[in-house]
Amino acid sequence: MAIHKIKFFSGRCSRYLAEKIVASYGTKLGDSEILKFSDGEFQPSFNESIRGCTVFIIQSTFPPTENLMELLMMVDAARRASAHQVIAVMPYFGWARQDRKDRPRVPIGAKLVANMLVAAGVDRIMTMDLHADQIQGFFDVPVDALYASGIFVPYIKGLGIEDLSIAAPDMGGAKRANSYAKHLQTPIIISHKERAKANVVGKMTAIGDVEGRNIIIVDDMIDTAGTICMAADMLMARGAKSVRAAITHPVLSGEAYERINASALQEVIVTDTIPLNPDKDTSKFTVLSVADIFANVIERVHNYKEISSIFFK
């Protein structure tokens, strides 16, 4: 059993999720605050002793810049306050799309973020559905990369959909779609897109049987929703009965909500790693909470139990 007391804290943007996680764990958030200066600078502080404690700091990095900086400073503050261990719980890991040099003279943002977190003093990372699994290798500390399939698959089974197929929105998502198809014992469809130019999809086709199928598109994140809406419309045009989407991280920038509401998508199933915009029409959205998954893994890590048995890829 663990001998170090456990304490939970949250950044400002993820407090809504942190409160669910600690409630599932059976405790409360610790007392912390952010001192804001008139020029926009801020200073986190812990208002209780954390000496010798295992400290979990819950913070997704969306939009990534300020929230990442807040997380880094909270990790540094905990380390300087003599915490035994500092574990960053990042349900959504920002900059994950920058996992390689895809053209000359660009950074590898995910690696830079990893370096900064380790430099700040983090001892472990917990996250969910990384855009690229190899990001785990960017860290020299343990990374618990969890999978939202653990809540998506039971929900999809509960819908009782007949003639179900799982689809990937592009070739890069084939591995994830294949994993869902295996658990649900369904056929798989791959959407193939050809770009007319950067950030502009010119043509999209489907590989697999579409006609007469009820299709669920799976992916790790939905940003502008351009690709997934185009895929949904294309699948319906090719004879699909219905199209839904199961997406872990609802980034939903720009006109994403409007695109989704105007598209053929019947339902968009997301998690609460990022909150939906309360000022937008979210009638097509179903939100599933990841709180229980994170609480379970936190309990196992803190008490030195194995976690491999709960991984549901």
Residues 6+ apart with CB under 8 A from 5: 52, 53, 54
- With H, G, I as helix, E, B as strand and everything else as coil, classify residue 149: helix
Read off the tokens for 60. Answer: 């997704």
Q: Return the sign of the alpha-carbon dihedral for residues 156, 161, 164, 169.
A: negative
Read off the tokens for 164. Answer: 């179900």
| Residues labelled as active-site residues | 193
Nearest-angstrom CA–CA distance, 274 and 175: 24
Q: Which residues pair with 286 in a beta bridge?
A: 269
Phi, psi of 103 (to 5 degrees): -160, 165
Residue type, position 108, single letter: I
Q: Which residues pair with 68 in a beta bridge?
A: none
